[in-house]
Amino acid sequence: MEKKIFVVRKADIKDSKAIYEITKQVFKIYFKNAQIPRTIDALKETYKDIENDIKTKEVFVALDGNTIIGSVRIKVNPDKTAYLSRFGVKSNYQNSGIGKILMSAVDDDMISLGVTNIYLHTSSRMFSLIRFYYGRGFFIDSTSKDRGYIRALLCKEYKSKSLDNSCTNTVNNSI
């Protein structure tokens, strides 16, 4: 049996189309499975939005050969917290370890940037996602219904020399 090798690298503007396609595919499924009552921002974004994120955020892509099969975006804030969004892996590659590989790249990058806490939102109905994030060191900080469904705010703490690196409700809910 041939062993697969996947590569993760920082995204480039030329990756926008592939990131767009992955985002649409993954978030259509998420939207349906989470039973979200109204459309979500991920399904409304444009190529220009993705290009802007590549320029202003930490954006990673996972590749199988030359084919982009997953992506994730992270906004690093001045206070050394970060917010993870648009995490997705093509459906035919899910449950093959790509998500873990992407998240490991995120962890390495966040640690190198001195980030103390990283946050994300996901639907609390999505048990598979909650379980995945718990397995990567996240925990539920809080929940809200501000978007018409129960969203869980998850947090992961990175070890730092700071005495106060605990997750708190300091995330801007407008994210």
Using one digit for the tens of pLDDT, what is the confidence trace for 50-95?
999 999 999 999 999 999 999 999 999 999 999 999 999 999 999 8
Q: Which residues pair with 143 in a beta bridge?
A: 152
Contacts 24+ apart (CB under 8 A), 133-136: 136/100, 136/103, 136/107
The share of the chain scoring above pLDDT 70, in percent, equals 89
Place 118 in a pLDDT band, splitting at 50, 70 and 90. very high
As a whole number, mean pLDDT of residues 25-50 equals 94
* Rounded Cα gap, residues 88 and 105, in angstroms: 14
Instruction: Kindly tell me the sign of the dihedral angle through the C-alpha atoms of 108, 109, 112, 117.
Output: negative
pLDDT at 169 over 70: no
Q: Which residues pair with 142 in a beta bridge?
A: 153
* Rounded Cα gap, residues 51 and 46, in angstroms: 9
CATH class assigned to 6-157: alpha beta
**Residue 120: enclosing H or E segment and its boundaries?**
strand 117-123
pTM for the full model?
Answer: 0.90
Q: Which two tokens stand for residue 163?
A: 């005495």
